[in-house]
């Protein structure tokens, strides 16, 4: 990769504020004006994600564990309870609150109660939502762009992938003319 990777969270958050309108415009471009198919965009995002995530050490950041509320399903809760050697009921009472999805839960506190020195103290037990974060390896990127834009200010990987995607696909003058 020829350009630098941005990992400074303060700078990323400031750039997210500055580029909010631009990021929404790029979302519109990806959803309808981009000449690539959703599958081609997925392939490009997956490639960029592999390249950029290999250059970023998440344990130097841990911002997702401070800012994101992962959704825990029944399997996540059972795995945690068993791993912590407590009952499911005790785990729920001690750590969780119900979220707006039926049968699913969030951690009561932010940051995550298992965050310790930018690392998950229960890494092998972590929820599926955490295992998958920042979700850039998944299909249907163009149908998940609202979450991508939300994560842009939180995760250096998302920030850098989205910025690289803009530089590879988007020529601002064309989108401005189309709008």
Dump pLDDT digits (tens) for 103-128: 899 999 999 999 999 999 999 999 99
Say whether both 109 and 144 belong to one domain: no
Say whether both 44 and 82 belong to one domain: no
Domain extent for 102: 69-132
Instruction: Assess if residue 1 is contained within a domain.
Output: no
- Cα angle: 50, vertex 161, 65; to 5 degrees: 85
Instruction: Assess if residue 58 is contained within a domain.
Output: yes
Q: Give me the number of domains the chain comprises.
A: 2
Q: What is the pTM of this model?
A: 0.91
Give the Cα separation of 127 and 120 in Å (integer): 11
Q: What averages of pLDDT result for each successive group of 10 residues across the chain (179 residues)? A: 82 98 97 95 98 95 95 97 97 96 93 96 96 97 97 98 96 48
């Amino acid at each position: 990769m020829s350009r630098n990777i941005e990992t400074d969270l303060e700078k990323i958050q400031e750039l997210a504020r500055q580029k909010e309108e631009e990021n929404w415009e790029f979302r519109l471009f990806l959803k309808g004006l981009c000449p690539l198919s959703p599958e081609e965009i997925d392939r490009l995002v997956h490639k960029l994600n592999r390249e950029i995530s290999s250059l970023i050490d998440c344990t130097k950041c841990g911002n997702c564990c401070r800012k994101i509320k992962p959704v825990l399903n029944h399997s996540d809760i059972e795995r945690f309870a068993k791993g912590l050697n407590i009952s499911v009921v005790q785990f729920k009472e001690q750590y969780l609150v119900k979220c707006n999805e039926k049968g699913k839960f969030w951690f009561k506190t932010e940051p995550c109660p298992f965050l310790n020195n930018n690392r998950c103290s229960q890494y092998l037990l972590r929820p599926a939502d955490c295992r998958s974060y920042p979700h850039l390896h998944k299909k249907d990127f163009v149908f998940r762009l609202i979450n991508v834009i939300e994560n842009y200010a939180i995760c250096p990987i998302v920030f850098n992938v989205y910025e690289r995607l803009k530089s590879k696909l988007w020529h601002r003058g064309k989108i401005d003319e189309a709008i």
